Amino acid sequence: MAKLKTLIAINCLLEKKDYFSTPCYLLGALGDAINALLCGAGRNIRLILKKLREKLFLFFTGLLLAAWHRSDCRKSAAALPAPVF
């Protein structure tokens, strides 16, 4: 019996450390349900923001490379001699 209580206490401590969770200050079963719903929504928002950050990084990197390539082409075209007709 004492070993079971120890295992339950260790499990509770580990659950508290995961995901930097804070204690739920809402009372009762409804409070627990609201807390679980808000935790899930917060995780989903973090995942959406991560994907958005990755997509924006790729977009702006592409713009930067396109602008760099365009200016590089202009420099090399200016170095060529004018065509003779």
Average pLDDT over residues 64-72: 82
User: Residue 62 pLDDT more than 70?
Assistant: yes
Work out the pLDDT band at 75, boundaries 50, 70, 90.
low
Non-local CB neighbours of 15 within 8 Å, separated by 6+ positions: 21
| Burial of 13 per CB tally in 10 Å (0-12, 13-18, 19+) | exposed
Tell me the per-residue pLDDT of 41-59, one tens digit each, with 9 for 90 and over.
Answer: 888 898 999 999 999 999 9
User: Residue 36 pLDDT more than 70?
Assistant: yes
